Amino acid sequence: MPSARRTRHLGLVGMLLIAVAFAGLQLTAVTGRASPDTKNYLSYALSLSGEDRQEAGRLAIGYSCASGQHAPLDFIPWTSRKAAGESEEQCVRRLNDSVAYWSGHGNTSGMTAPFANQRFMAIFEARPGYPLFLVPFVTAFGPTWGLWLAGLVVALAGSVCVLLTLRAAGASRRAGLAGQALYLALPTGTVAMNPLSDGLSLALGTAVALGCVLLLRDRPRAGAALVAAPRAGAALVAGGLALMFLVRYSQALLLAVALAGVFLAWSGLLRLKRRGYAPVLRAAGLCGALAALIYAGAHLLSWPMGQDSAQDLLTHHYQRPDLPDPWPEFFVQERVFWSAWLRRQATYPVLPVLLALSAWALLKRRSVVLPIALAAGAAGLLNQAGHPNLDQLLGYRLIVFVWLLPALAIPLLLDRPPNGAAPHDASRDPAAAAEPSDTTAHAAPAPAGDTPGEVRHPTSRS
């Protein structure tokens, strides 16, 4: 239909306008975003692109020290901090001295340059996915523009996945565009643009969220498109977590565990209410099996695990002897960190306000996307709990999955139905969830004012 085609075109134009506006804003800071870990990933990527380890380290040091000379701009939140009192030449000299020191103390192998001891650098050796992703960008455009373009691709891909997730869950086009804009405006967009593995991991997490929504659209008699949706969803969930395993396997494990736990609890609730729970239970089984595979894979590859993370925190990156039993001290650090974090949230309550709006959406709306968003938020909290480092108190990257909850939940509040109408409810019975187009194709025309995704199913009860 011409009107439907025109509406689709308007949605595409809106998506592109948001993407172009975001890209334009990011041009205000092409560099100045490097963190201390950026040089590790960049040297790994340059080694993969064919540079020898020494030259890769030299180029990574040059980029990192040049980036560090860009002082933060108060009105541009994504610019990085400048090391006080250190010139670019002093930075280069310091890092070159560090490379020479650790090269002489046993760090002579691996893809990353020897910026620290071999045990610490093994953390980055166990994350080959992000350096592999960077290779075509830094090869074609060099480190500065290559890292910026890679971040832009990651940020926009994640935002489009958020839009598609909301649309697949039955939300209106305006809600989907709001989700895309929120994702880019919140710290999710900032973290995605930083030259670190967290952004790519986050983008893959949004693909997993989209896969979960498709996985729960299980209605065999509704047509071939909906039969294929769960299969595509399962492929997205498995593929997204498999790629995230290569990028940041600890976050992949936590996301899979959180999804499995939420789906298992949800299926139990649906069973108590005597509603269809089989698709949710199958999703829980899939995520649980993937979590087990991720854990087994990391163990078989001898990648650093939870014990190593605790020792890393408590021994200042393994520069002091290991603690015989790190857990008592680790839990002391947990208490100190979360006390400081709560005080920080009380002083700057942006996240609490957004979480309150998300809770309102959870109470007022019924959508299949909400439990998935809740699991993503839980994965972010778990990841931060595994790294209770006060140096990360003002940052967002370790807890960034928490911000997916408002990005996915708050836009649903835009789809408030008119008085007396019940919204389309995919969470009542996931086995009966369908696209809005299926509902409108076989039901009476919707009352004026209904938005896509809020059309009542002929068999639904208020």
Question: For the whole model, what pTM was predicted?
Answer: 0.86
Are the C-beta atoms of 138 and 126 separated by less than 8 Å? no
> In sequence order, what are the beta bridge partners of 76?
73
What stretch of H or E contains 283? helix 278-300
Are the C-beta atoms of 412 and 367 separated by less than 8 Å? yes
Report the C-alpha gap between 98 and 335 in whole angstroms.
Answer: 33
What pLDDT, on the 0 to 100 scale, is given for residue 74?
52
pLDDT of 239-249, one tens digit each?
A: 999 999 999 99
Q: What is the largest CA-CA distance in the chain?
A: 77
pLDDT of 328-386, one tens digit each?
A: 999 999 999 999 999 999 999 999 999 999 999 988 888 999 999 999 999 999 999 99
Provide the sign of the torsion angle of the four alpha carbons 62, 65, 69, 72, taken in this order. Answer: positive
73 three-state secondary structure:
strand
Helix ranges, 169-223 (H): 173-185, 187-193, 197-215
Provide the sign of the torsion angle of the four alpha carbons 258, 247, 397, 114, taken in this order. Answer: positive
pLDDT of 144-173, one tens digit each?
A: 999 999 999 999 999 999 999 999 999 999
Q: Count the alpha carbons within 13 Å of 295 in the hemisphere toward its beta carbon.
A: 12
pLDDT of 385-413, one tens digit each?
A: 999 999 888 888 999 999 999 999 999 99
What pLDDT, on the 0 to 100 scale, is given for residue 247?
98
Rg, the chain, Cα only? 23
The pLDDT of 42-60, averaged and rounded, is 95
Report the C-alpha gap between 166 and 358 in whole angstroms.
Answer: 14
The pLDDT of 51-78, averaged and rounded, is 81
